[in-house]
Structure 1
Amino acid sequence: MSSEQILSNARVVTAEREFLGTLLLRDGLIAAVDEGASRLPQVQDLGGDYLLPGLVELHTDNLEKHMSPRPGVDWPSASAVLTHDAQIVAAGITTVFDALSIGDINPRGRRMQQLPAMIEAIAASEAAGQTRAEHRLHLRCELCHPDALTIYRDLVEHPLVALVSVMDHSPGQRQFAKVEKYREYYMGKYHLSPAEMEDFLQEQIANSRQYSDRQRRAIVEDCHSRGISVASHDDATLAHVQESAGFGMAIAEFPTTLEAARASHELGLKVLMGAPNVVRGGSHSGNIAAAELARHGVLDILSSDYYPASLLHAAWLLAGQDNDYDLPAAIATVSRAPARAAGMDDRGEIRVGLRADLVQARAHGEQPVIQQVWRQARRVF
């Protein structure tokens, strides 16, 4: 039996424009998009609020915070996934790529031990229909870890794996071109003494020289053979970008300089930056600000990274800044662009025939407040 509902009196934001309009939803899809408000008695009146496409999040490690809510505390994985999922959907995210770190460089970390439980819990919750957002897996491969390639090969055939990124967080290059920033960041993050920090630093440099290039090539080639989108990470120079483009990567995650972002954009890689960078007004690592890339027209995708609620907020702010991004273009950075970069052409915008993944939001100054969220026409928030 066909299932229909009508959402009307909404400020509809498509990929090209915004207008007062009405949507007809049928069997989980958008069946019609019309201008003007409907007078039919069965409509759901959205009261002039914005109606946006469901957000698509490509890179978030939010789940890890729920797996380990405090140092030394391991939370039950099924509960952690559902709590994470609730936070994700409340942020308007209807498709989320949960980023799982392969090759934890933290000498005291538990990421690697938690990895099997995280994957099992995500898959079980998805299979049981318990999650409200649709979850996919993003494998973040830390190339300077000796076992990154082996672990990648163990996990890549999981049916939920849909995105892979390759990264090298060793000091003296990319995100941490300034070694003093590396020391400051990791001493604070991992609570290392000065002597422990120096040993850690030298180990990462040595591992990078021994493993990174070989493992990057092997992982990227395997992804291409499987049709999985690949992202570079923290490209800083033209040489980095040319290498990434030569590997056929689809996404440039968090380029650290304008030079790298501009070159990525010109060579066809979609430039992804952190939404918290926009909300906070800059990078916590001292690298290029996302707003600066927007001013130069080379920002394609936003990711909430570590703070889900930043995603829609950042897009809203982007549309009000000194750049060429109007609201449709800004919303595309958190919906259409990430969906296409990940190879998904069935979602990410309000258009007839696509999935009815939708967000109702009300503007309070520069802060959008989410009222309702639908995934495939079913209300999930």
Structure 2
Amino acid sequence: MYLITNGLIVTEDAILQGYDLLIQDDRIAKIALQGEIEPHEEVEIVDARGGYVSPGFIDIHSDYIEHMAAPRPTSLIDFELSLIETEKHLVSHGITTMYHSLAIFKAGEFNYRPIREPENMRRLVDQIEQTHQSKHLVRHRFHARFEIDNIEEIDQLKNYITEEKVHLISFMDHTPGQGQYRDLEGYRETLKGYNDLSDEQIVDIINDHQSKEKLTTEGLQEIAQLAAEYNIPIASHDDDTIEKLEIVESFGAEISEFPITMEVAMKAKEKGMHTVAGAPNVILGKSHNGNLSASEAVKNQCIDILCSDYYPASLLHAVFVLENKYQMNLIDMFKLVSLNPAKALNIDHDIGSIAEGKKADVLIIEKNERDYPVITTVFVDGQVMQRTNYRR
């Protein structure tokens, strides 16, 4: 049992000052005025030292594990070791539930990643599934990112679903001329950044991608129906038109990841979809692809979830950048990385907010002398996973 005191407790509706929080077993047992909960010898007192006591972060989309498992094109690290080392990073950044976004993706023109080879993908998916059978720090989940031209791996995706290894599916289309790469000139510049290619070679690459066979709408609906049978949420990816939103909505997608424009993001919200943007976009001040500004979209209330995408530290910092720089309500900013993703993933009955009876996934966040937020204590399922003491 732990009694957290002297903190600012971030609930769904308020930031409580002068309250204590009692953790018993794996749950938040009680929130009460300071001094009302009688401490006894079985209770460890945890002094939050004026810091925020917030819910643990839920990261709906991150390919960070791919970088940890394959840091170089010719280097493939043992997958069990990769997950062990990855979760050390995640817990230090307050991520207590991670949806590892593994790309079921054909080899492309950008930097080669051996982790995306089908056999390596299968091994890593199996390893994610096995994490909870041994000592671990955070919850590991599998977010299957399926590229719709990867026809050869459709059956494997279905196997993952029926084996109950998938916890979220997103359908992706990175064909140049639409979606993330709707700006062909930007696509050309990106290609040149990765490879020494002539203009003629780039034209051939674009033509090749635009003529590839892709999964049909009927094929997408078939996979979506199978996912629905297993209660797996479905997301679309890089929605760039209203027409595309209507298509993805027709086969059950309730999450729009990385809408390309403000107009599309607003329409997705009108349709009742959950909308996701990258937290790195917030701390960079812009999209690295020149697409939607996450900060502006949050201000316009058409983005309700932030994910770390590729930089785990960004979730924590984005919350406070949005509060300090854009004068956004701090309670709502915490929801972007906790309650809102929990609702989108249908896990908010158990995690995602500080409330009596919920799982005790709890962070203590202090500020350093330069006003940067720092996480000093992390609880997952009521257990202390990490403590950090800053010294002068």
Structures share a fold, TM > 0.5?
A: yes
Higher mean C-alpha deviation, range 161-170 or range 312-321? 312-321
Aligned residues: 374
Q: Given that residues 5 and 20 in structure 2 are in contact (C-alpha distance below 8 angstroms), is that contact kept between their aligned partners in structure 1?
A: yes
2:129 paired with 1:123: yes
2:261 paired with 1:263: no
Aligned partner of 2:70 among 68, 71, 75? 68
Q: Given that residues 359 and 370 in structure 1 are in contact (C-alpha distance below 8 angstroms), is that contact kept between their aligned partners in structure 2?
A: yes
Q: 1:366 deviation in Å?
A: 5.2
Q: Given that residues 161 and 230 in structure 2 are in contact (C-alpha distance below 8 angstroms), is that contact kept between their aligned partners in structure 1?
A: no
Q: Which residue number corresponds to residue 334 of structure 1?
A: 337
Q: Given that residues 273 and 290 in structure 1 are in contact (C-alpha distance below 8 angstroms), is that contact kept between their aligned partners in structure 2?
A: yes
TM-score normalised per structure 1 = 0.93
Task: Return the letter of the residue paired with 2:338.
Answer: S
Matches within 5 A, 1:43-54: 43-54=45-56
Q: Gaps (5+ residues) in structure 2?
A: 387-392
Matches within 5 A, 1:78-89: 78-89=80-91
Q: 1:154 deviation in Å?
A: 2.7
- C-alpha offsets along residues 292-347 of structure 1, whole Å, 9 cap, x if unaligned? 11121111000000000101111111223436x41110000100010111010200
CA 1:192/1:144 → structure 2, altered by over 3 Å: closer, same or farther? Answer: farther
Higher mean C-alpha deviation, range 29-38 or range 273-282? 29-38
Return the alpha-carbon distance in structure 2 between the equivalents of residues 294 and 245 of structure 1: 22
Higher mean C-alpha deviation, range 74-83 or range 31-40? 31-40
Task: Return the letter of the residue paired with 2:21.
Answer: L
Matches within 5 A, 1:188-267: 188-189=193-194, 191=195, 193-194=197-198, 195-207=200-212, 210-211=214-215, 213-267=217-271
Higher mean C-alpha deviation, range 15-24 or range 163-172? 15-24
Task: Return the letter of the residue paired with 2:191.
Answer: Y
Q: Given that residues 103 and 141 in structure 1 are in contact (C-alpha distance below 8 angstroms), is that contact kept between their aligned partners in structure 2?
A: yes
Return the alpha-carbon distance in structure 1 between the equivalents of residues 204 and 159 of structure 2: 30
TM-score normalised per structure 2 = 0.90
Q: Which residue number corresponds to residue 57 of structure 1?
A: 59
2:183 paired with 1:181: no
Give the SS at the match of 2:29: strand
Q: Given that residues 231 and 252 in structure 1 are in contact (C-alpha distance below 8 angstroms), is that contact kept between their aligned partners in structure 2?
A: yes
Give the SS at the match of 1:43: strand
Q: Given that residues 105 and 145 in structure 1 are in contact (C-alpha distance below 8 angstroms), is that contact kept between their aligned partners in structure 2?
A: no
Q: Given that residues 142 and 148 in structure 1 are in contact (C-alpha distance below 8 angstroms), is that contact kept between their aligned partners in structure 2?
A: no
2:171 paired with 1:166: yes
Q: Gaps (5+ residues) in structure 1?
A: none
Return the alpha-carbon distance in structure 2 between the equivalents of residues 16 and 175 of structure 1: 36
Task: Return the letter of the residue paired with 2:289.
Answer: S
Q: Which residue number corresponds to residue 100 of structure 1?
A: 102
- Name the % identity: 30
Give the SS at the match of 1:140: strand
Higher mean C-alpha deviation, range 224-233 or range 199-208? 199-208
Return the alpha-carbon distance in structure 1 between the equivalents of residues 187 and 371 of structure 2: 34
- C-alpha offsets along residues 81-115 of structure 1, whole Å, 9 cap, x if unaligned? 11111111111011111111112342544212420
Q: Given that residues 336 and 349 in structure 1 are in contact (C-alpha distance below 8 angstroms), is that contact kept between their aligned partners in structure 2?
A: yes
Q: Which residue number corresponds to residue 6 of structure 1?
A: 3
Q: Given that residues 304 and 340 in structure 2 are in contact (C-alpha distance below 8 angstroms), is that contact kept between their aligned partners in structure 1?
A: yes
* RMSD (Å), alpha carbons: 1.9
